[in-house]
Amino acid sequence: TYTFLTAFFGSIFIMGPFLPLMLINMKWFRTCMDFAINLWLILPGALFELFYGTKVVITGDQVDSSKSSLIVMNHRCRLDWMFYWMVHLRTGRLGNEKIIMRGDLKNMVGFGWCMQNVLYFFLQRRWDLDHIYLDRMLNYFIDVNYPLQLFIFPEGTNMCKRGKSKSDSFAEKNGLPIYQYVLHPHVKGFNYLVQKLRGKVIDSIHDVTIGYPKNLCYGEKDLITGNFPLEIHVYFKSYKISDIPNDSDSLDEWCKKIWLEKEERLKKFYENGEFVGEPVHYNDKNSMYKYNSIMGLVNLFWATFLSTCVYSLWWSSFARWYSV
């Protein structure tokens, strides 16, 4: 309820007043939207980490947060994208993250409005329509030289029974191995994005593997019942875009290869409860103090903002008129 109300009122009272900037200076408008969404994206992670004790463990390659990137990750549960915000706070520019999502999510009250304002991608899952839409969106980011950090799930869906069944059927028809910890990736969309953005607005590809060793918070019902993730582990393997194959067939095989590596990595992860033998980042005393301070201040901001909104709507006829 708290996160919904902050998203709802934030889209009206923080993002709303800046909409006229679109007609004056699009760069200023985009900067304001990115700053606003950055403030909000920190909030769910602040609640998980500060109030519910969720532990974030980041291993693998050290990520250069100044680089524009394509981020590819396995899709273990419905809420991976939200849990990754806690990781991205530490490893990237959270306000510049754009997620490719299902089209119906843009209609969510509050959340959907915010995501549309900051140019998240919403697909209809019809390639004849989606590639035209993607072309238009990506051309915009290329034209304005935006420091893009594009986040995608090449598997297309999360590790549910239906998704697993479809992945297994695809594997059997094409003579591929049956995976237990990941789904087979959809290489067509991945291939398109890499070829479109190569040498333009992305410098690297971050292959991210996510795992939950203690309990799985699969979806929204788990949040309602208090089944929050106790630990979130991610492993980074980064590639320079210049090291990625150029031709489409080789790129398809490269994507399949890193997914096979994910399967093997996750098998060992769930046997040991961690990514064994990998350096752990951002868990030293100074880093923990820094990020806890940021999350605490952001939570204080939103609590104050929400209280102010309720007070204004109660006492101010102008606030009520504006919100309508």
Helices and strands (H, E) in the chain, number of each type? 11, 8
* pLDDT by residue, tens only, the chain of 324 residues: 788 889 888 888 888 888 899 889 888 888 888 999 999 999 999 999 999 899 999 999 988 777 889 999 999 998 999 999 999 999 888 888 999 888 777 777 777 778 888 888 998 888 888 889 999 999 999 988 888 999 999 998 888 899 999 999 999 999 999 999 999 999 988 999 999 998 888 889 999 999 999 888 888 888 888 888 999 999 999 999 989 998 999 999 999 999 999 999 999 999 999 998 777 888 888 888 999 999 999 999 999 999 999 889 888 888 778 776
CA gap 81, 86 in Å, rounded: 10
What does the DSSP assignment read for 175-200? T-PPPSSS----HHHHHHHHHHHBTT
Nearest to 116 by CA among 124, 106, 104: 106
The residues, ordered by sequence, that sit 6+ positions from 286 with a Cβ below 8 Å of its Cβ are none
CA 310 from chain center: how many Å?
30
| Domain count along the chain | 1
Note the pLDDT of residue 219: 84
Place of tokens 């990514």: 275
CA 187 from chain center: how many Å?
19
CA 90 from chain center: how many Å?
13
CA 277 from chain center: how many Å?
26
Q: pLDDT tens for residues 251-304?
A: 999 999 999 999 999 999 999 999 987 778 888 888 889 999 999 999 999 999
Nearest to 109 by CA among 6, 31, 39: 6
Name the amino acid, one letter, at 130: D
Asked whether 192 and 70 are in contact (CB, 8 A), the reply is no
Show the domain range for 71: 1-323
* CATH number, position 109: 3.40.1130
